A = this chain, B = another copy of it.
Amino acid sequence: MSLLDLLASRAPRMKASEIRELLKLLDQPDIISFAGGIPDPALFPAQAIADAYASVLGGAEAGAALQYQVSEGYLPLRKWLAGEMGKLGVACDEHNIFITSGSQQALDYLGKLFLSPGDTALVTWPTYLGALQAFNAYEPRYDRLTPDGGNMTPAAYQAAAEASSTSAKEGGKVKFAYLVPDFANPTGETLNRQQREAVLDLAGELDIAVIEDAAYRALRYDGEAQPPILALDCERSGGIENARTLYCGSFSKILSPGMRVGWVCAPRRVVERLVLMKQASDLHSPSINQVVMHRVSEAVFDSHVEKLIDAYRQRRDGLLAALEAEMPDGVSWSRPEGGMFVWLTLPEGSDATALLARSVKEARIAFVPGNAFHADGSGRNTMRMSFTLADERAVGAGVPRLAKLMKG
């Protein structure tokens, strides 16, 4: 796996020729990369995972773990996840849990479930690029979700939908709001409780679903945990069966992305629709990975999260300190309480894509230009830096070089 491929795959708004050129430059061992949104492989619980594979394949469950499986997923894993959701304030059971091949698949299925061409999806500006890629397949238009207020009113959406009903391509019915409320990709920002309630207020007014992408939720380095939007929704609506929020979880940032296990926690009627989709699209996620993920999670999930928090907190602090010391005036950045990313805003008129090209060539530093994360292609003066692979050496060598380039 190459960070560089990931960068290329994640920046479709860059011109193909730009990407090819960059890739040639990037394919060299001396590049310091803040680009990939990936966990540090040195921190995978490889021994616990190896032990679980050995124990499953050497035991009575080997046949079942290598055999076909039901589309909703491995029952003990679903029960375990229902228990974990309960701890977060979401009372539910295994019928509310649907296992996916990573949360990317959840976004794809939810896009397929809700969107017809011309429908509107509300997303933050910027938002997770993979979500845009998943939803794009269903040809929506995007409108900006602003948890602090200032969204269009239901009447305005209604008028837009009616005005466009002949073309069906512009301003169609709003179907859902998608957001990453904890340590967002790419900004690192977290919504407070009031903002979460405001998203639910808006969703109620528009009568739409909320897709809560909780991929980074467990990785909080300081500050107080916020309740999932789904938990607030259950409080309002009287329980998960009445909720409009669909919670997408993932093991990728904690245990292993390469095993591709995620989940959706949702009302049973939604889970049933997703099961039918999965049956038609890939039958089920790999049985053995689900069995192993269940065993590893029961054994080490909580202790491993603590270990990651210690390691990544240090790296975040190191990156923030270096930015503080080195960045020129006019550059600002987020101070995330968790997750993987710091979001930089360069002076108005700057172009982070052009900066990346120079940065790779002259300073041997990589990051992701921010306009890739904007549904409308704006944000050219923004960029994302990941700190999960940014050890002391990388930060110490990389940030001054990057700053010097910006100043020059």
Q: Is A5 an interface residue (CB 8 A)?
A: yes
A213–B133 alpha-carbon span in the complex (Å): 28
Which B residues are CB-close (under 8 A) to A58? 50
Which B residues are CB-close (under 8 A) to A245? none
Which B residues are CB-close (under 8 A) to A281? 104-105, 108, 134, 137, 281
Contacting residue for A258 out of B39, B69, B108, CB 8 A: B69
| Pair B71/A42 contact, Cβ less than 8 Å | no
| Pair B282/A104 contact, Cβ less than 8 Å | yes
A100–B286 alpha-carbon span in the complex (Å): 12
Q: Mark A169-203, 1 if CB is under 8 A from B, else 0.
A: 00000000000000000000000000000000000
Q: Give 30 A-B contacts (CB < 8 Å), ordered by A residue.
A: A1-B68, A1-B69, A2-B70, A6-B68, A38-B67, A41-B64, A41-B66, A41-B67, A46-B63, A49-B57, A50-B53, A50-B58, A64-B258, A66-B256, A66-B257, A66-B259, A68-B252, A68-B257, A68-B258, A101-B282, A101-B285, A104-B280, A104-B281, A104-B283, A108-B282, A130-B283, A137-B280, A258-B287, A260-B286, A281-B281
Q: Is A237 an interface residue (CB 8 A)?
A: no
Chain B residue with the shortest CB-CB distance to A47: B57
Q: How many of A's residues come within 8 Å of B, CB to CB?
A: 58
Q: Name A residues whose Cβ lies closer than 8 Å to a Cβ of B.
A: 1-2, 5-6, 9, 36, 38-39, 41-42, 44, 46, 49-50, 53-54, 57-58, 62-71, 100-102, 104-105, 108, 112, 130, 133-134, 136-137, 252, 256-260, 277, 279-289
